[in-house]
């Protein structure tokens, strides 16, 4: 299957549609197929593994044309988080790395009030 995100005039994903690979051997063929069958619109191909557009698109994601990347909405609960553009995954991350000793025996959760990690006891 090939997947295409329909983009609105403000570059936000309205929906993602699947098309049979046999019917659309190229990205342009997929766009043409969807325009013909859905009455127009602007489509960008998205990939389950995120490549080459960093992240698989979802409704409400922003498509940044200059970066050719789908960016998920910023988590409302974490206003301090920043968009990670390196190594180009384009996901929202906390501004402080999780402690190095985190693992199965020692867990942490993000504390937005203190902009830090709290150990879960």
pLDDT tens-place values along the chain, 121 residues long = 999 999 999 999 999 999 988 888 888 888 888 888 887 788 999 999 878 888 899 999 999 999 999 999 999 999 999 999 876 688 999 999 999 999 999 999 999 999 999 999 8
pLDDT of the residue at 35: 85
pLDDT of the residue at 94: 97
pLDDT of the residue at 34: 87
pLDDT of the residue at 121: 85
CA distance 4 to 7: 9
CA distance 3 to 44: 9
Give every CB contact of residue 108 below 8 A, 6+ residues apart in sequence. 98, 99, 102, 117, 118, 119, 120
Enter the DSSP assignment of 26: S
pLDDT of the residue at 115: 98
pLDDT of the residue at 87: 66
DSSP H helices in the chain? 27-38
Polymer length of the chain: 121
pTM of the predicted structure, to 2 decimals: 0.82
Decide the pairing of beta strands 116-120 and 107-111: antiparallel
């Amino acid at each position: 299957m090939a997947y295409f995100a329909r983009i609105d005039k403000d570059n936000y994903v309205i929906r993602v549609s699947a098309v049979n690979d046999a019917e659309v051997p190229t990205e342009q063929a997929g766009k043409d197929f969807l325009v013909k069958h859905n009455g127009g619109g602007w489509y960008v191909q998205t990939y389950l593994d995120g490549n080459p557009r960093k992240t698989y698109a979802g409704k409400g994601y922003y498509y940044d044309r200059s970066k050719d990347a789908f960016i998920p909405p910023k988590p409302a609960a974490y206003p301090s988080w920043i968009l990670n553009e390196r190594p180009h995954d384009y996901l929202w991350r906390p501004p402080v790395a999780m402690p190095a000793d985190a693992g199965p025996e020692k867990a942490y959760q993000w504390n937005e009030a203190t902009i830090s990690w709290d150990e879960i006891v």
